[in-house]
Structure formats: structure tokens, C-alpha cells
């Protein structure tokens, strides 16, 4: 049996914290699909779905069992369609728990065929999020410790203001 996991998120943009989760998930499952998904609470995105997908594809490098896809629908519908057995999510701090717990229970209620698996972030990525990266870049700050080198110029070009 091919054990497929789906790792959903906005990835606007993908960060080193996400890449850490992708890498570790790829060691646990036969195939990991990183799914650029729609979060209805986030209306102003910085990068288009296709740009986000392409940036992830560039940073996953030689992780041969990882692919990237886009969905603007319900996560569980996608999970069911690809026969995934797991949804991978990340816990960074206690504050993530309540929201993630609610999502996991709702997804399980909607589709019983997959388990949500939580990977804890590493200590150095605890504070990291895509909006932290966007905010630092938009004030022309140094984001090189937060995002993969391959996509650094794309983010700087989009967000940094010229002096
Ligand atoms: N490293 C760095 N940042 C991380 C991280 C990590 N390991 N793990 C999480 N984060 C950040 C994310 O970048 C995000 O930052 P942001 O708010 O600044 O963009 C934040 O933590 C929250 O992450 P998450 O809770 O995963 O939100 P998300 O917007 O990335 O993803 C979806 C949420 C897309 C998975 C969810 O809305 C969804 O499932 N949508 C599909 C529709 C659906 O089925 N909805 C019903 C679900 S019950």
C-alpha cells in the first residue's frame, strides 16, 4: 500500500519552517503531497496559488517522494480523492493547539478515512510564520534566515520597497 499524506497550508510564502515539516513528513510516508490550499480567513494573498506552488517545487529539491498541488476546495475532498491516509499539520506553540484540534476533529467528522498527524516544529522555527516573513520583508528587513535561498530574491522583489 502506498501511504500518502497531504500537508495543506497557505504557504504564502513557503518558509524554512514549512520545509522542515515537508522533509520530516517525507521520511514518514511513501508520498507527501504539499497542498497549496484556500484559507477563507485570508483574503489578501501576496503570491498567487501558482506562484506559491512553483516556489515550493523549487525548494523541495531532491525529495523525490514529495509533490505539490493546488486546491481551492475542501481539504477532505482532496484527501479522499488521492486516497491519502494522513493530513500532516504542524504545531508551533500551545496557541496553535485549540485551532488545530478543532480542524482535526472537523476533518475527521467529514471524512473518517484519514488521520491528522501533528509534527512539532523545531525550536528555532517556533516563532516563524509566512506573515512574519512578509512583514519583515516589507520593512526591508533581512529574511535570509527564514526562507530558502532559492526563493529569497522572489520574495524580496515582491515585498521590499525600493529606496
Ligand atoms: N513553519 C513556519 N510557519 C508555519 C509552520 C511552520 N512549520 N506551521 C505553520 N506555520 C504558519 C503558517 O505559515 C501560517 O502563517 P500565516 O498565518 O502567517 O499565513 C500559520 O502558521 C498558520 O498555519 P495554518 O494553521 O496551517 O494555516 P494556513 O493558512 O497555512 O492553512 C488551511 C490553513 C489552508 C490548511 C485550512 O484553511 C484548510 O484546510 N483549508 C482548506 C478548506 C477546508 O477544508 N476548510 C475546512 C477545514 S475544517
CATH of the domain at 60: 3.40.50.620
> pLDDT category, 161, cuts 50, 70, 90?
confident
Q: Are 31 and 65 in contact (CB under 8 A)?
A: yes
The answer to the question of residue 139 being in a domain is no
The answer to the question of residue 103 being in a domain is yes
Ligand 1 pocket: which of 11, 39, 87, 125 to mutate (most atoms within 8 A of CB): 39
The answer to the question of residue 97 being in a domain is yes
Question: 25-67, pLDDT tens digit by residue?
Answer: 999 999 999 999 999 999 999 999 999 999 999 999 989 999 9
Domain that holds residue 36: 4-124
Ligand 1 pocket: which of 8, 9, 55 to mutate (most atoms within 8 A of CB): 9
> pLDDT category, 14, cuts 50, 70, 90?
very high
As for how many domains the chain has, the answer is 1
Global pTM reads 0.97
CA separation, residue 20 to residues 60, 106, 126, 157 (Å): 10, 26, 12, 24
The answer to the question of residue 15 being in a domain is yes
CA separation, residue 99 to residues 15, 50, 160 (Å): 21, 27, 31
Amino acid at each position: 500500500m502506498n501511504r500518502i499524506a497531504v500537508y495543506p497550508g497557505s504557504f504564502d510564502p513557503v518558509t524554512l519552517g514549512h520545509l522542515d515539516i515537508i522533509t520530516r513528513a517525507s521520511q514518514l510516508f511513501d508520498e507527501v503531497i504539499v497542498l497549496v490550499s484556500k484559507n477563507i480567513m485570508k483574503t489578501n494573498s501576496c503570491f498567487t496559488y501558482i506562484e506559491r506552488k512553483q516556489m515550493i517545487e523549487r525548494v523541495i529539491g531532491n525529495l523525490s517522494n514529495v509533490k505539490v498541488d493546488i486546491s481551492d476546495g475542501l481539504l477532505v475532498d482532496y484527501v479522499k480523492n488521492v486516497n491519502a491516509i494522513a493530513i500532516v499539520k504542524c504545531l508551533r506553540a500551545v496557541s496553535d493547539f485549540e485551532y488545530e484540534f478543532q480542524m482535526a476533529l472537523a476533518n475527521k467528522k467529514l471524512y473518517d478515512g484519514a488521520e491528522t498527524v501533528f509534527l512539532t516544529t523545531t525550536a528555532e522555527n517556533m516563532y516563524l510564520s509566512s506573515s512574519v516573513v512578509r512583514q519583515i520583508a516589507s520593512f526591508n528587513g533581512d529574511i535570509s534566515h527564514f526562507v530558502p535561498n532559492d526563493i529569497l530574491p522572489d520574495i524580496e522583489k515582491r515585498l521590499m520597497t525600493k529606496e
